C-alpha cells in the first residue's frame, strides 16, 4: 500500500484507480482463451486491470458436479456485490445459510478440487475436497492476518429432485480464493480512530488519529464500504487503545445503500438518529474520521457534510481536518539527524542535501560527545543519545550552552551488542529504549525523558529486543526481536494504566509479525500511518529493502530502489521526506523519483524526529 516516496500533500497514492467500472468481463466457468491452440483449464483468474470489473456466469443447464464447483469458486472472485451469481450454484437451503462476509481465506493459489471417489456416477450425491496452502485470512471485521498451514474443506453437492440439476448443499464458511485473485479483488485501506491511550493526567490539545487497516472489495463501492466499516468501530486488535467520536450504534440512515460525492467534491453522509444530538466539536471529529479514511482511498472527497434526519450536524473541509486532529506527524520535520565521523550529533535540512551538515546546539553537538546512536524528540527541542560504548543513555536540550548531565539509564551488558538500543520518542514526549543485557534485558520507558525508568510489561515477548520504534500516534510500537539467531519484525499495542499523580503501568501486548517471510531483519523504520520500511533477508535469500504493513500484508506498489550493505534506515511518517540509509557508502538518501544519492561518507545512525 504505497509506492516509493510521494511528493506533495500528506496523503497516500490512490490505489483504487477509478473505482467506477470501465467495463465488464464475463467468465464462464474456469476457461481461458489463448491466442492459438486448444482451450485449456486454468486454476485462477488472470490478474485484470484495476479498472475492469469482472462478473461470473450462472450455472449452465445440466452442468456436472465438477463444473458446478469450478463455477462457484470462479464466482467468488467476481465483482458481484452480494455474491448473487455464486448463490445460484447453491441449493436454497445452503444459499440461506451461507454468509460470505464472515471471512476470506487466501491460499497460495486457487483451491484444488478433488472429487470424492466414493459415490457412483448415477448417485444423487457428490462431494469434493477443496485444498491448498494458507497464506492469509481476513475476518468479519475485514482485518488481515498472515496464516500458514494446509487448507482442507469439503463441498457437498446434491441433484435436486425437482429440477434434476446439481447444486452445492454444504460448503465451508466464508469465501476462499487464491492470492492473485485476492490481490485483484481486494485492497487495503486505513480507517481512522483517535488514540485513547494517553498518559494519566496528560492534557492533549489535539487527538492523535490512529490508522486501522482493513481490506475491502476493490470494485464494490469501496467508499460506502469504508464508511460502514468506520461506523462499525475499530478492529479487535486496536479497540482497547482507541476511541471513535461516533456515538455507539451510529449507522447510515436506513435505505442509504451508496454514498457519492457531488460535483463540488462534497460527500453528504446521512446518519441514523443515534447521531442526532452530537455537539459541534464531536461532530467535527466524526467528520475528520471520515475525511482521513476517504483520503486514503480517493482524492474525490474534499468536504464532508454529516446529517441526521433532515438536520445538518456539521461540515468539515479537507483543509480544516488537520485542525481537528493530528494525522501522522504533527509538523514536517525540519532536519535530518545523524552521528558524524567525530561521534557528535549533526543535522541538515530534511528535504535537501545541498547544505553541509552542522553540529546541533548544546553538548550533544560537541566534538567530545562520543555518541553511538540518537533519537530526536518530535518537537526537535531535545535529543536522547547512547554513548559510543553502548552503556549510557543521555537526554539533552538542543540549545546553545546546554549541558548533558548524568545518564538517565545505564546498561551493564558485557559488549556493545549486549547494551542499549537506539532510543525512540513517542508523541507524548516519553522516551523508549531496550537493554540487550542478557542478565537484565527488557524494554524501558522514561516519562518525559527523565526520572526513574519504567519497566515495560511484555507478557508475550519471546526473545531479545534489538530495535525499537514508536509510531507517531503513540499507541503502536515496532520491535525487532531476536530468537535463536533469527530476527523478526513485530508490532505491539501500547497500553497504559494508573491514576493521575501516580506512576503509570505500561504494557506492550498483541505482538504479531509485520514481515513473516523475513527471517533476518537488520533495520526498520515507520514510513507511513500503517507502513514500515524494512531491510531484511528471506530464508536462503539476499538482503533486500521493502515496505511492510502493520498487519503483515505486503503493500501494493514497488519497493524502494535497491541498495547494498544497508546497516540502518530512516524514514518519516510524512511521506514527502526521502528515505535515508547508512550503508557501506556512508549516509545516502532516496529523493522522490530518483536513485540513491550520497550525502556524506563519514556518518552513521541517521534519524528523523521520533
121 plus 190 within the same structural domain = no
Look at residue 8 and tell me if it is in a domain. Answer: no
Residue 169 has pLDDT above 90, yes or no: yes
268 plus 230 within the same structural domain = yes
Nearest to 75, CA basis, from 20, 229, 67: 67
- Residues 446, 451, 457, CA angle at the centre, nearest 5°? 40
Residue 97 has pLDDT above 80, yes or no: yes
Count, residues in the chain:
610
Give the residue-averaged pLDDT of 504-522: 95
HSE of 302, CA atoms in CB hemisphere, 13 A? 5
Which CATH number fits the domain that encloses residue 62? 3.10.450
Q: How confident is the model at residue 574 (pLDDT cuts 50, 70, 90)?
A: confident
SS3 track for 345-400: EEEEECCCCCCCCEECCCHHHCCCCCEEEEEECCCCCEEEEEECCCCEEEEEECCC
448 plus 571 within the same structural domain = yes
Single residue among 292, 327, 362 that ends a domain in this structure: 327
Look at residue 47 and tell me if it is in a domain. Answer: yes
pLDDT tens, position by position, 394-420: 999 999 999 988 999 999 999 999 999
Give the residue-averaged pLDDT of 103-113: 98
Look at residue 13 and tell me if it is in a domain. Answer: no
What is d(CA 515, CA 557) in angstroms, rounded to the nearest whole number? 16
Supply the pLDDT for residue 31. 36
Q: How confident is the model at residue 206 (pLDDT cuts 50, 70, 90)?
A: confident
Determine the 3-state secondary structure of 284 from DSSP. Answer: helix
179 plus 190 within the same structural domain = no
Name the pairing type of β-strands 345-349 and 335-340.
antiparallel
What is d(CA 573, CA 568) in angstroms, rounded to the nearest whole number? 17
Contact between 59 and 89 under an 8 Å Cβ cutoff? The reply is yes
Q: What does pTM read for this prediction?
A: 0.88
Supply the pLDDT for residue 52. 64
Torsions phi, psi for 14 (to 5 deg) = -75, 115
Supply the pLDDT for residue 502. 64
Beta bridge partners of 561: none
Contact between 445 and 430 under an 8 Å Cβ cutoff? The reply is yes
More confident residue, 504 or 578: 578
Residue 37 has pLDDT above 50, yes or no: no
453 plus 596 within the same structural domain = yes
163 plus 195 within the same structural domain = no
Give the residue-averaged pLDDT of 577-599: 93
Look at residue 5 and tell me if it is in a domain. Answer: no
362 plus 510 within the same structural domain = yes
Worst-scoring range by mean pLDDT, 34-38, 92-96, 431-435? 34-38
Supply the pLDDT for residue 21. 36
- CA distances, 324 to each of 210, 291, 379, 412 (Å): 14, 11, 19, 45
Q: How confident is the model at residue 32 (pLDDT cuts 50, 70, 90)?
A: very low
Look at residue 2 and tell me if it is in a domain. Answer: no
Supply the pLDDT for residue 15. 35
Contact between 289 and 244 under an 8 Å Cβ cutoff? The reply is yes
Look at residue 344 and tell me if it is in a domain. Answer: yes
Q: How confident is the model at residue 45 (pLDDT cuts 50, 70, 90)?
A: very low
Contact between 29 and 74 under an 8 Å Cβ cutoff? The reply is yes
455 plus 484 within the same structural domain = yes
Quote the domain boundaries for residue 475. 335-607
Number of domains in the chain: 3
Q: How confident is the model at residue 51 (pLDDT cuts 50, 70, 90)?
A: low
Percentage above 70 pLDDT, the chain: 88
What is d(CA 250, CA 231) in angstroms, rounded to the nearest whole number? 6
112 plus 200 within the same structural domain = no
Give the residue-averaged pLDDT of 332-340: 94
More confident residue, 355 or 209: 209
Single residue among 274, 304, 327 that ends a domain in this structure: 327
149 plus 285 within the same structural domain = no
Give the residue-averaged pLDDT of 374-401: 96
Which CATH number fits the domain that encloses residue 505? 2.120.10.30
Contacts of 364 (CB under 8 A, 6+ apart): 344, 345, 371, 374, 383, 385, 394, 396, 398, 404
Give the residue-averaged pLDDT of 563-584: 93
429 plus 551 within the same structural domain = yes
Write down the mean pLDDT value for the chain.
Answer: 89
308 plus 366 within the same structural domain = no
Q: Using CB atoms within 10 A of its CB, is residue 566 exposed (0-12), middle (13-18) or buried (19+)? A: buried
Return the C-alpha cell found at 583: 550503508
Name the pairing type of β-strands 579-583 and 40-41.
unpaired
Worst-scoring range by mean pLDDT, 26-40, 184-198, 280-294? 26-40
Residue 26 has pLDDT above 70, yes or no: no
Beta strands in 172-310 (DSSP E): 175-178, 186-195, 208-217, 242-243, 266-271, 303-308
What is d(CA 181, CA 275) in angstroms, rounded to the nearest whole number? 38
Torsions phi, psi for 247 (to 5 deg) = -60, 150
Nearest to 490, CA basis, from 532, 538, 452: 532
Supply the pLDDT for residue 202. 43
Look at residue 453 and tell me if it is in a domain. Answer: yes
Look at residue 382 and tell me if it is in a domain. Answer: yes
Determine the 3-state secondary structure of 12 from DSSP. Answer: coil
What is d(CA 574, CA 558) in angstroms, rounded to the nearest whole number? 18
More confident residue, 15 or 415: 415
Single residue among 138, 158, 185 that ends a domain in this structure: 185
Give the residue-averaged pLDDT of 513-536: 96
pLDDT tens, position by position, 210-241: 999 999 999 999 999 999 999 999 999 999 99
Residue 49 has pLDDT above 50, yes or no: no
Return the C-alpha cell found at 241: 487503545
Give the residue-averaged pLDDT of 145-161: 96
Task: Find the distance separating the first CA and the last CA of the chain, reported in whole Å.
Answer: 22
Amino acid at each position: 500500500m504505497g509506492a516509493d516516496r510521494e511528493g506533495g500533500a500528506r496523503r497516500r497514492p490512490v490505489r483504487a484507480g477509478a473505482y467506477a467500472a470501465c467495463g465488464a468481463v464475463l467468465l464462464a466457468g474456469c476457461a481461458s482463451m489463448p491466442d492459438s491452440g486448444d482451450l485449456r483449464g486454468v486454476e485462477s483468474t488472470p490478474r485484470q486491470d484495476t479498472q475492469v470489473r469482472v462478473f461470473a456466469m450462472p450455472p449452465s443447464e445440466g452442468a456436472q458436479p465438477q463444473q458446478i464447483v469450478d463455477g462457484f469458486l470462479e464466482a467468488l472472485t467476481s465483482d458481484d456485490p452480494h455474491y448473487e451469481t455464486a448463490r445460484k450454484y447453491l441449493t436454497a437451503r445452503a444459499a440461506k445459510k451461507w454468509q460470505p462476509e464472515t471471512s476470506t481465506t487466501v491460499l497460495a493459489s486457487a483451491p484444488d478440487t478433488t472429487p470424492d471417489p466414493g459415490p457412483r456416477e448415477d448417485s444423487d450425491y457428490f462431494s469434493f475436497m477443496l485444498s491448498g496452502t494458507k497464506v492469509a485470512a481476513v475476518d468479519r471485521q475485514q482485518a488481515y492476518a498472515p496464516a500458514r498451514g494446509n487448507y482442507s474443506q469439503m463441498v457437498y453437492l446434491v441433484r435436486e429432485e425437482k429440477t434434476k440439476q446439481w447444486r452445492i448443499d454444504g460448503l465451508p464458511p466464508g469465501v476462499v480464493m487464491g492470492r492473485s485473485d485476492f490481490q485483484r479483488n481486494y485492497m487495503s485501506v486505513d480507517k481512522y480512530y483517535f488514540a485513547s491511550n494517553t498518559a494519566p493526567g496528560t492534557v492533549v490539545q489535539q487527538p492523535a488519529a490512529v490508522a486501522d487497516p482493513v481490506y475491502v472489495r476493490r470494485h464494490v463501492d469501496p467508499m460506502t464500504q469504508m464508511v460502514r466499516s468506520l461506523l462499525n468501530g475499530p478492529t479487535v486488535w486496536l479497540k482497547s487503545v482507541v476511541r471513535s467520536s461516533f456515538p455507539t450504534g451510529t449507522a447510515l440512515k436506513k435505505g442509504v445503500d451508496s454514498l457519492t460525492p457531488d460535483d463540488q467534491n462534497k460527500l453528504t453522509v446521512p446518519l441514523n438518529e443515534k447521531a442526532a444530538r452530537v455537539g459541534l466539536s464531536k461532530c467535527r471529529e466524526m467528520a475528520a474520521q471520515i475525511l482521513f479514511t476517504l483520503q486514503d482511498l480517493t482524492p474525490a472527497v474534499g468536504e464532508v457534510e454529516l446529517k441526521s434526519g433532515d438536520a445538518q450536524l456539521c461540515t468539515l473541509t479537507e483543509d480544516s481536518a488537520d485542525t481537528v486532529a493530528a494525522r501522522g506527524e504533527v509538523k514536517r520535520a525540519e532536519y535530518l539527524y545523524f552521528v558524524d565521523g567525530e561521534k557528535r550529533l549533526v543535522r541538515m535540512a530534511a528535504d535537501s542535501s545541498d547544505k553541509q551538515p552542522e553540529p546541533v546546539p548544546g553538548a550533544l553537538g560537541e566534538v567530545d560527545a562520543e555518541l553511538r546512536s540518537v533519537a530526536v524528540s518530535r518537537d526537535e527541542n531535545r535529543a536522547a543519545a547512547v554513548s559510543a560504548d553502548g552503556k549510557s543513555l543521555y537526554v539533552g536540550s538542543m540549545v546553545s550552552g546546554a549541558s548533558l548531565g548524568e545518564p538517565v539509564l545505564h546498561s551493564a551488558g558485557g559488549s556493545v551488542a549486549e547494551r542499549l538500543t537506539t532510543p525512540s520518542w513517542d508523541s507524548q514526549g516519553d522516551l523508549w529504549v531496550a537493554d540487550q543485557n542478557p542478565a537484565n534485558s527488557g524494554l524501558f520507558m522514561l516519562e518525559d525523558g527523565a526520572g526513574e525508568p519504567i519497566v515495560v510489561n511484555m507478557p508475550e515477548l519471546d526473545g531479545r529486543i534489538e530495535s525499537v520504534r514508536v509510531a507517531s500516534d503513540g499507541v503502536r510500537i515496532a520491535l525487532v526481536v531476536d530468537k535463536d539467531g533469527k530476527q523478526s519484525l513485530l508490532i505491539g499495542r501500547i497500553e497504559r494504566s494508573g491514576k493521575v499523580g501516580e506512576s503509570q503501568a505500561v504494557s506492550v501486548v498483541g505482538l504479531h509479525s509485520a514481515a513473516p517471510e523475513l527471517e533476518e531483519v537488520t533495520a526498520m523504520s515507520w514510513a507511513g500511518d500503517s507502513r514500515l520500511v524494512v531491510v531484511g533477508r528471506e530464508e536462503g535469500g539476499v538482503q533486500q529493502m521493502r515496505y511492510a504493513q502493520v498487519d503483515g500484508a505486503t503493500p501494493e506498489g514497488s519497493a524502494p530502489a535497491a541498495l547494498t550493505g544497508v546497516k540502518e534506515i530512516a524514514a518519516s511518517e510524512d511521506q514527502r521526506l526521502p528515505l535515508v540509509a547508512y550503508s557501506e557508502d556512508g549516509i545516502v538518501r532516496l529523493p522522490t523519483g530518483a536513485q540513491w544519492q550520497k550525502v556524506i561518507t563519514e556518518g552513521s545512525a541517521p534519524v528523523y524526529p521520533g
